[in-house]
Chains A and B, each alone.
Chain A
Amino acid sequence: MRRIILSVVVATILSACTKGKTIDEAGNLVPLTVEKDASLPSIYINLSKFHAETFGNPANKMLVVLHGGPGSDYRYLLNCKEFANQGYYVVFYDQRGSGLSARHSKNEYTIQLMIDDLHAVIAHYRASPSQKIFLLGHSWGAILATAYINQNPSAIRGVILGEPGGFKWQDIKDYVRRARDFRFSSEALNDALYADQFITGRENEQAVLDYKLGLLGAADAAKDNPTGNESLLPFWRAGAVVNKALFDLGEKEQPDFTSSLQLFSTKVFFAYSERNRAYGLEQAQKVSSAYPNVQLQKINGAGHDFISFSAGFANFFPAALSYLNSL
């Protein structure tokens, strides 16, 4: 008890001597976005500012990389820069409200806006109308890629999809439930839940909410995490509001991104990981069946985020490159 009292006294003295830092100020607990940090590479499209960068010759075939979440960022997919060394113009961007891209209020996000943003990114970087466009989407990014192809079946030359939860809302919900299937008494789940009494934020306090969501990411590498990652993913800044907004929209709109996929006759490269217990061959077959022409690829020695870790990427990259080169 004496230690506690002493800690309180020390805390009081410290807070009296220093100007208190506030958790809702970006730059303290989470990095600044492109709106406040001019040194970050960015583009302005679709009335918003995006954190984005490219690798490779702009005249080469374009490969647009789409991160998961929603609300993650492209840092964990930077291994895909390797495609630039193989003759591709690789485009990365943090999606609207994610990573280091600009933040918006919750009611501004729509699924269509995310699709329109992808369209605008492609248009921004496209060197010529004849330039071949490929998409590489992971998790939610694979759903976004599919939503885009569903609306623009002839715009894309080929697509690499990594463990999308589903292309229909119920499939997505079922997958998310399985992927978050922790025991109630587990360290990982209680670590995630316990933080709620330390930090709360209003809907417009995006730095607070982003920080808190980032903390939750620590559960990704827990031993009992069904998704099978070997360690934690690198990230810049989580996008909590866009994450909540898109899940709420999914629940409300029950989207189905498969209505026109039969028109996309090009072979789809569909990758799933060996260690993700929430996915597996059965889920991969079920989800990918919305496309008429699929190459299923099991990535051995890796979990859900197989692109981020050396063993997974070593197994993924040659097969994905071979697929792209075949188109």
Chain B
Amino acid sequence: MKKTHTIVTVIILLMGLTTNAQTINWKNIRQYKHIANVNVTAEYALNYGVAYSYRLSSKRPILLSSEYSFPSGNNFTDDFKVKTGTQIHWLQSGNFHFASKFQGIFRRYQNSYARLLNFGVDISATGGYYKQKWFVAGELGIDKAIVTHFKHSDLYKENFPGVRDGWYEPSTGGNIYIGVQAGWSFQNKDLYLKLGKLSQQDLHSSPMLPLYAQLGFNIKFGKR
């Protein structure tokens, strides 16, 4: 319980920074302050997303960003995900760059039986080869659902009147992901593709959609 509170507190602090994690060409990020992004993602489901990042005027590149995405379907408001966090560029050796990402997550899910609200974190590390015009990198991360609020519909309660609504902890789930990302940079834009595999945190099973992919487009502006 104490550990959970600590993590949630960290999420709150990070949310105060209003940040995100886009796929970045670390080689040509230094001269810009802002990055806007649109993406289509197959991750757990088919999602559409937008994001914005602000680069701090620090010696070490640090991005603070926010991202909103929602799954495809008739109802655009019943399920969504907001991620907010920071990406920090830690190390450069020649054209090799290494960075990490820490995002707080708030997400919502609803179907005929239940509405779920979840607070979680997404932590990952990225390392790769970055040139001015292109990049290729690998990523490894974990997406953890820390605390989840369950509220059930009358329909579900007809099936199970004793169901207990409320907050559930500790963690209600988690998935580990490993993948590659590659991008093409031109003018002040990046077009990138991420591909990878998802496994549940026990490493023995996978989500129903065990692979993920993202096609994204960044536009950078506001030169320093």
Contacts and interface: CB of A to CB of B under 8 A. Distances in A.
A200 interface: yes
30 contacts: A1-B15, A1-B84, A8-B8, A8-B12, A11-B147, A12-B5, A12-B9, A15-B1, A15-B4, A16-B5, A21-B168, A23-B168, A27-B162, A28-B163, A189-B45, A193-B207, A195-B111, A196-B208, A196-B209, A197-B44, A197-B118, A197-B145, A197-B207, A200-B173, A202-B202, A203-B205, A215-B111, A215-B114, A219-B111, A236-B159
Contact of A200 (B149, B168, B200): B200
B113 A198 contact: no
A4 interface: yes
Interface string A157-193: 0000000000000000000000000001111111111
A197 B143 contact: yes
Q: What 9 A-B pairs are tightest by C-beta distance, nearest first? A: A187-B73, A200-B173, A196-B207, A20-B169, A190-B45, A185-B72, A190-B71, A218-B111, A193-B45
Q: Which of B116, B145, B159 gathers most chain A CB within 10 Å?
A: B159
A190 B162 contact: no
Interface string A204-238: 00000000001101110100000000001011110
Contact of A15 (B5, B117, B174, B204): B5
B175 interface: yes
Nearest to B79: A194
Contacts of A185: 46, 72-73
Interface residues of A, number: 52
Interface in A1-52: 1, 4-5, 7-9, 11-12, 14-16, 18, 20-23, 27-31
Interface of B, helix, strand, loop or mixed by DSSP:
mixed
Contacts of A7: 106, 117
Given A29-B150, A234-B159, A194 B45 contact: yes
B162 A31 contact: yes
B163 A195 contact: no
B11 interface: yes
B94 interface: no
Given A190-B71, A193-B45, 18 more contacts: A1-B15, A4-B15, A4-B84, A5-B12, A8-B8, A11-B8, A11-B149, A21-B167, A21-B168, A22-B170, A27-B162, A27-B164, A185-B46, A194-B109, A195-B116, A196-B173, A198-B172, A218-B111
B146 to A, nearest CB: 9
B119 A192 contact: no
A11 B18 CA distance: 19
B213 interface: no
A12 B15 CA distance: 14
A199 interface: yes
B15 A8 contact: yes
Nearest to B18: A1
Contacts of B1: 15, 20
A4 B209 CA distance: 28
Contacts of B163: 28-29
A197 B107 contact: yes
